[in-house]
Amino acid sequence: MKRLFVLLMLGLAALSATAGAPAILVFGDSISAGHGLAHVDDGWVGLLRAKLKAEGYGYQVVNASVSGETTAGGLARLPRALELHHPQIVIIELGGNDGLRALPIDQMRANLTKMVDLSMGIGARVLLLGMRVPSNYGPEYTEKFNSTFADVAHAEKAALVPFLLADVALSPDLMQADGIHPNERGQPQMLATVWPVLKPLLRK
């Protein structure tokens, strides 16, 4: 009985330590939600969680990504997520579904800007993960879409990964059959793309 009590107390202490750890909030769509993967923890966000632990960073990673999310949907959800988790770092990976639906880019830019502002307003550091749309959307739309993430990051002084799928999208062996979502083999490559930009934002 005494041993059971000690184990219970240790478990509660570990849970409390995790709950009290500073949070990294990942706010994305299906790319970050692990769509199509056998195990969500195999996604780049799960791999990030493991890497932070292995390298001694005391962060908890909250994955608030939702498949199909647009920047408008993300903007509507973000205030509650910020209030709930009080993140020190916010990683925004949204915009891909705006592009797939050919939604107005000016509105996407406004939504991303507002999300960055809300996050910085609570003192969080922000990392924006850029996406791309194929050229068949027309040169004007494609160029405006692809430049929006850099424009927002520059204007808001946020950190930027220009294209999350830079080393994945053109490699069929790293993509699922839909040609949109990276498979299990592509997830470590996405983390490798994010890590050099995220690392300077971290505190040990």
Verify whether residue 178 is a known catalytic residue: yes
Of 198, 185, 106, which is closest to residue 145 (Cα–Cα)?
106
Query: 136: buried, middle or exposed (CB in 10 Å: 19+, 13-18, 0-12)?
Result: exposed
Can you say how many angstroms the Cα of residue 194 is from the centroid of all Cα atoms in its chain? Answer: 9
Per DSSP, the three-state class of 165 is: coil
Per DSSP, the three-state class of 100 is: helix
* Local structure of residue 88 (DSSP, 8 states): S
Of 203, 200, 29, which is closest to residue 112 (Cα–Cα)?
29
Q: Which of 30, 32, 65, 119 is catalytic?
A: 30
Distance CA 184, CA 46 (A): 12
Q: Which of 35, 65, 119, 181 is catalytic?
A: 181
Verify whether residue 39 is a known catalytic residue: no
Q: Which residues of 163-197 are buried (b: 16+ CB within 10 A; e: fewer)?
A: bbbeebbeeeebbeeeeebbbeebbbbbbebbbeb
Count of C-beta atoms within a 10 Å radius of residue 85: 17
Verify whether residue 181 is a known catalytic residue: yes
Q: Which residues participate in catalysis according to the annotation?
A: 30, 178, 181
